[in-house]
Structure 1
Amino acid sequence: MSQPAAGPTVGIIANPLAGKDVRRLTSGASPVSDGVKIGAIRRAVVGALEGGASRVLISGDRARLGERALAGLDSGHAVDVLEPHGRHTGRDTQLVAAQFCAWGVGAVISLGGDGTQRDTAKGWRDVPLVPLAIGTNNVFPFPLEATVAGFAAGAVASGAAGPEVVTSQAKIIDVTTAAGSDAALVDVCLVGGAFVGARAVWDPSGVHEMVVAIAEPASVGLSAIAAAVCPVERDEPGGVHVRLGSRDGSQATQCSVRPAVQPGSYADIAISHAQRLGFDAPVTLAGPGVLTLDGEREIVLHSGETAEAAVRPDGPRVIDVGAAVALAQRRRYAFGPARTERRTGER
């Protein structure tokens, strides 16, 4: 498929690996089944078409989530499942997001946790996005009903809810090393070790330093460490830089916190430094160690190597689902101003 047919189009990205990493085995959380994802895709398709989309494109994968979601669904010829890219990693999500961007897709629904949303943004940095929380760490995405999430995406794609009115640009953390650049949506952490390994970080005792864009007190995960000492809401400018108990013991502990670092798990964390960051203020992270991006090990820093991390304001354009639905409904159902009738005897 070279490009979608003309007309307002919604793209759906479903990560078959979301909610199934090693952190689910080391915490009190249950894995997210394929059945949950299939049901969410199906409901999102129904919502997108109801919201005004004339086409829906679904990412392909070896679990055939899209095909299974469409089984028995009467959607005519308006929905296509793309051929999978076949890497079975986050790179698949990046590639399909880039396809959606090139094809002029009007809005994207991404089903997964922070890692999936990050991969979506890596493929299309300012994607008009509805991030659905179906992962292990869900700081960036929202726990929304897929039916109305789909409607909102369809309304934005069709122009019934203008993106300039119902979207806000999220923050993103740019990471630069001698080897290249990368990005995260929630946090960048320097952890101990010399290899990527299982990727997901489940032991917070190895965390040395972090730059966080979203540090909300109600979050679970590594960003909850920063939230305990210096909260930063998702719509606040900038972020926070936190150092934990130093590797060589040279830095004194300023305080000790006990955040929810995993579902069903709290941990004692020593903090030696915490400081608010403005936009575009670079923080140098020095090796040896491994950089995690939104909770997954990605970049090895050897001794003498450094990386710079900076919070910037030009990430995905996140769709306010409630605002998009309300605006589309106001335009669709042209009622006059509501009137309250007086009861008998009232003046």
Structure 2
Amino acid sequence: MSHPPVVGLIANPVSARDIRRIVANAGNLQLPDRVNIVLRLLAALAATGVGRVRMMPDRAGLAAMLQRHLARERRQGHVLAEVELLDMVPGATVEDSCRAARLLRAQGATAIVVLGGDGTHRAVVRELVAGAGDWRQTVPVCGLSTGTNNAFPELRESTTAGLAVGLYASGRLGAEVALVPNKLLDVRIDGAAGTRHDIALVDAVIADARLIGARALWKPEGLHSVYLAFAEPQAIGLSSIGGLLQPVARTAPGGLAVQLAPTPQGRQCVVHAPIAPGMVCPVGIARVESMPAGQPFDVGLPAGVVALDGERELAFAPGERVQVRLRENAFATLDVGRCLHEAAARGLLWAAA
């Protein structure tokens, strides 16, 4: 007897509240906006036969507000997937997303919908790829952009995302149609105290600042190099530097390494890149080269910090060796567009007249 599909939901209630929202005049989704996104998702999931969603609890009031809105929707006769909160005590840190991802993987979630920015998606994927030997072994992610620089989660309507996830979770679309493999960047720091590892989904940026300080990077000053899993010219954020120099698609092999030149000496060119919403800054470029998968790139800076997907995460000191390596076929995501094209071709959302 088959079990009903379970879809996971990790919604960061406080994404898009870093300093870039202040300095770049960017907007900010309030809790009611996030709740409405989730309600549309739940309605679409229910329409495809997914009756249950397991959701990360939070301390900001998102889950509580959602439950009140769900009761109102049901009183009005609307059909939405049921929401069950994961058995965990939230701490209002990124560890909430990490723990929720571990719980959902252990509980056999068919797919996980993530609401957040690049940082939230990185935290979730980091847990899902741990111990996985191949992208087909990871729980697939469907990302909904609610962060600041959102280079990884694409802007899409939660209704169509819910339809795609539901068609896959209910078994009406197979993995060979619904899922695509994704690249990531492995960052390794070796020193006398041991080895540290982390990942980035879009970019690993090396800066010469010795203190982590404010987590979000929003100034080009002090940047040394940028390593990119993919580089899209329409992106907002530090990955746009590479995207406007030598675009690399998400599905293309290889990545991109860009060495920056803060002074005119050694510059090949200057690119004007949108490194944050409303902020287009000149960035001096010394060298651009392709990153083949599996090849380690040594960071030629004696000390500084590594920013992963736009946030300073790892400080390194003199004597420590930093390497960045591109990994292909690392984790799975839902291809929403392809799912809905296939649904149209097969008539999966048709009903008898």
- Contact 2:304/2:315 (8 A) holds in 1: yes
Q: Which runs of 4+ in 1 moved over 6 A?
A: none
**Alignment equivalent of 1:90, drawn from 67, 76, 94:** 94
User: Deviations for 1:77-111, whole angstroms, at most 9, x for unmatched residues?
Assistant: 83212245433222211111111111110111111
323-332 vs 106-115, greater mean Cα deviation? 323-332
**Alignment equivalent of 1:122, drawn from 95, 103, 126:** 126
8-17 vs 308-317, greater mean Cα deviation? 308-317
User: Could you state the TM-score of these two structures normalised by the residue count of structure 2?
Assistant: 0.88
Structure 2 residue aligned with 1:187: 203
Structure 2 residue aligned with 1:204: 220
Matched, 1:271 2:275: no
Structure 1 residue aligned with 2:298: 284
- Contact 1:279/1:311 (8 A) holds in 2: yes
316-325 vs 179-188, greater mean Cα deviation? 316-325
Structure 2 residue aligned with 1:318: 333
Residue identity over aligned pairs, in percent, reads: 34
Give the distance between the partners of 1:136 and 1:22, measured in 2 at CA.
10
50-59 vs 136-145, greater mean Cα deviation? 50-59
User: Deviations for 1:49-70, whole angstroms, at most 9, x for unmatched residues?
Assistant: 2222232111111013123123
Aligned AA (1:116): T
- How far the C-alpha of 1:167 sits from its partner, in A, is 1.1
Give the distance between the partners of 2:88 and 2:38, measured in 1 at CA.
16
- How far the C-alpha of 1:185 sits from its partner, in A, is 0.3
- How far the C-alpha of 1:76 sits from its partner, in A, is 7.9
- Contact 2:45/2:81 (8 A) holds in 1: no
Q: Secondary structure at the match of 1:324?
A: helix
- How far the C-alpha of 1:228 sits from its partner, in A, is 2.0
Structure 1 residue aligned with 2:66: 69
Matches within 5 A, 1:110-259: 110-125=114-129, 126-178=138-190, 179-245=195-261, 252-259=266-273
Q: 1:199 to 1:165 in 2, by over 3 A?
A: same
Q: Secondary structure at the match of 1:229?
A: coil
Q: List alignment gaps of at least 5 residues for structure 2.
A: 130-137
Aligned AA (1:205): E
Q: 1:168 to 1:76 in 2, by over 3 A?
A: closer
Give the distance between the partners of 2:273 and 2:318, measured in 1 at CA.
30
Give the distance between the partners of 2:250 and 2:143, measured in 1 at CA.
14
Give the distance between the partners of 1:154 and 1:313, measured in 2 at CA.
27
Q: Secondary structure at the match of 2:330?
A: coil
Structure 1 residue aligned with 2:25: 28
- Contact 2:144/2:156 (8 A) holds in 1: yes
Q: 1:300 to 1:250 in 2, by over 3 A?
A: farther
Structure 2 residue aligned with 1:105: 109
- Contact 2:42/2:80 (8 A) holds in 1: no
Give the distance between the partners of 1:287 and 1:92, measured in 2 at CA.
34
Q: 1:62 to 1:335 in 2, by over 3 A?
A: closer
Q: Secondary structure at the match of 1:161?
A: coil
Give the distance between the partners of 1:12 and 1:151, measured in 2 at CA.
15
- Contact 1:61/1:83 (8 A) holds in 2: no
Q: Secondary structure at the match of 1:327?
A: helix
- Contact 1:93/1:123 (8 A) holds in 2: no
Q: 1:331 to 1:104 in 2, by over 3 A?
A: farther
The alignment's C-alpha RMSD in Å is 2.2
46-55 vs 112-121, greater mean Cα deviation? 46-55
Q: 1:242 to 1:103 in 2, by over 3 A?
A: same
Aligned AA (1:165): V
105-114 vs 62-71, greater mean Cα deviation? 62-71
Q: 1:83 to 1:251 in 2, by over 3 A?
A: farther
The count of corresponding residues between Structure 1 and Structure 2 is 330
- Contact 1:132/1:144 (8 A) holds in 2: yes
Give the distance between the partners of 2:160 and 2:210, measured in 1 at CA.
44
Aligned AA (2:239): S
User: Deviations for 1:138-186, whole angstroms, at most 9, x for unmatched residues?
Assistant: 1111111111211211211111111221211111111112232110100
90-99 vs 319-328, greater mean Cα deviation? 319-328
